[in-house]
Amino acid sequence: MKKMLGFIIALFVTAPSFAGKTYQVTGPVVDISESAIVIQKGKEKWEIAKDANTQIKGDLQKGAKVTVDYTMSATNIEVKPGKAKK
């Protein structure tokens, strides 16, 4: 039982390292919904998913300048047919 508990604790401690590299984007908020925030970055609009676990510091509203930390993670990978390398 102690080994299992140790494994579970180690998993939670190391879990953030499996999340991958963290990125940032800064800009004014264009739109906000329950599941996403849209940031204006130059001429582009970046839509970034958020959920109940997203930590928000300050008064999040349209027009506010924000910095969003995010990670990228693949949800599906499809290999296309092509020439195989020898």
pTM listed for this prediction: 0.67
CA dist., res. 58 & res. 55, Å (int): 10
Number of domains in the chain: 1
| Residue range of the domain that includes 53 | 20-71
Q: Retrieve residue 60's tokens.
A: 């999040």
The model's pLDDT over 48-77, given as tens digits with 9 standing for 90+, comes to 999 999 999 999 999 999 999 999 999 999
Q: Which of 12-16, 41-45, 65-69 has the weakest average pLDDT?
A: 12-16
Domain presence at residue 41: yes
CA dist., res. 69 & res. 40, Å (int): 15
Domain presence at residue 25: yes
Q: Retrieve residue 20's tokens.
A: 């991958």
Domain presence at residue 62: yes
Domain presence at residue 37: yes
Q: CATH number, domain at 37? A: 2.40.50
Domain presence at residue 8: no
The overall longest dimension of the chain from CA atoms, in Å, is 56
